[in-house]
Amino acid sequence: MERTTGRLADGREIIWYDADGTGRVAAADQRDLPAAVTNSQLRRDPLTGEWIAIASHRQSRTYMPPANECPLCPSRDHLSEVPSTEYQVVAFENRFPSYSLAAEGGETVETGLEQTRPGHGRCEVVCFTSDHNSTFAALPPQQARLVVDTWADRTTALSAMPGIEHVFPFENRGKEIGVTLQHPHGQIYAYPFVPPRALQELTQAEDYRARTGRSLFGDVIEREIADGARVVASNDEWVAFVPYAARWPIEVHFYPRRQVPDLPALDDAARDGFVPIYLDVLRRFDRLYSEPTPYIAAWQQAPVRAHRDEAWLHLELYSIRRAEGKVKFLAGSESGQGAFVNDGLPEALADRLREVAS
């Protein structure tokens, strides 16, 4: 993999990722952009202890432009966020970030009920391909592997930045999920804290270790393989299954068979092994109904400095689609109490996903 770094017109960093031997030269951004000003602020919820990002500048972010004005396409007929006429994979700082290393979110207040601090962190966009009409599921294996290498490289780089505690690569796909740009892309959030979902999983794992002396993640994997009822796909390196207590109408988790804390720790065999099983399951998702399935793909990896011994890298892939033409809304119980109700049976979903295998 080759890495080429550059700067956009407003000073944001951009990195091109190419297969070895490409020999790319960074291109200059010809746009007349004002300097980016980010007023993101973090406010601590005194009832839950969670940090909430207040990022009002994001109200003006680009929303569903026509394909010929897409800011994630290469700069050909129009100037875009990617100042080159083609690319393989590219990552760059988000123009409308929820968190920024240059956040101007006011003073830091660490005591009392109203605790605030600037929204320190970093948000990046990762474009999986220059083809506006493609999807991750349609990527050739070698292109998907380049994306995996990009995620790993960005995790390493972001983890080394001051004040970063957790790195979260993810993809939102589909208008039902709320995407604002249709070009195939994902994002990476580098948080100044360990976010609630990651912290909850890791705390459970540490409690389990204290009680049993065993790895919670390892035992879950062993149980799913032994039972087999919810396993959707597997190979020598990875296993994908519908979780026993699935929250979402469609949900599959992907685990490497060997424990690693994060994406950079995956060796070549594990990275190679992830690509076919992930592409396979994504394509099964799209065979479930007459329209492509909207989804969120969320990498759960170890924080930068904490809980690293217990963490077991995995990907959680889920969709709000519950039936043909219908989506699950997070209504009273889910939004009000965080208590999920799944209208489907996880074992039935696994059966269905096995049925739609190619």
Please write the tens of the pLDDT for every residue from 240-284.
Answer: 999 999 999 999 999 999 999 999 999 999 999 999 999 999 999
pLDDT of 73 > 80? The answer is yes
Query: 55 versus 251: which is more confidently predicted?
Result: 251
Ramachandran assignment for 60, one of left (phi > 0), alpha (psi -120 to 50 degrees), beta (any other):
alpha
First to last CA, the chain: 31
pLDDT for res 243? 98
Domains of the chain and any CATH numbers: 2-194 (3.30.428.10), 197-355 (3.30.428.10)
pLDDT category of residue 306 using cuts at 50, 70 and 90: very high
pLDDT for res 59? 61
pLDDT of 63 > 70? The answer is no
pLDDT of 185 > 80? The answer is yes
Backbone phi and psi for residue 57, each to the nearest 5 degrees, phi listed first: -65, -15
Average pLDDT, the chain: 94
pLDDT of 334 > 80? The answer is yes
Q: Which of 166, 185, 253, 307 is catalytic?
A: 185
pLDDT category of residue 155 using cuts at 50, 70 and 90: very high
Question: Of 25, 134, 8, nearest to 80 (Cα)?
Answer: 8
pLDDT category of residue 60 using cuts at 50, 70 and 90: low
Tokens 């929204």: give the residue.
119
Considering the entire predicted model, what is its pTM? 0.96
| Distance (Å, whole) CA 295 – CA 317 | 7
pLDDT category of residue 344 using cuts at 50, 70 and 90: very high
Lowest-pLDDT range, 163-167, 201-205, 255-259, 354-358?
Answer: 354-358
* Overall average pLDDT of the 155-177 stretch: 96
pLDDT of 76 > 90? The answer is no
pLDDT of 105 > 70? The answer is no
Annotated binding-site ranges: 70, 73, 132, 183
Q: What percent of the chain has pLDDT over 70?
A: 98
281, 301 in Cβ contact below 8 A? no
pLDDT of 172 > 70? The answer is yes
Written as one string, the DSSP assignment of 198-215 is HHHHHHHHHHHHHHHSS-
C-alpha count within 13 angstroms, C-beta hemisphere, residue 20? 3
* Overall average pLDDT of the 65-78 stretch: 89
pLDDT category of residue 164 using cuts at 50, 70 and 90: very high
Sequence length of the chain is 358
Annotated binding-site ranges for Zn(2+): 70, 73, 132, 183
Please write the tens of the pLDDT for every residue from 189-210.
Answer: 999 999 999 999 999 999 999 9
Based on the residue annotation, tell me whether 166 is a catalytic residue of this protein.
Answer: no
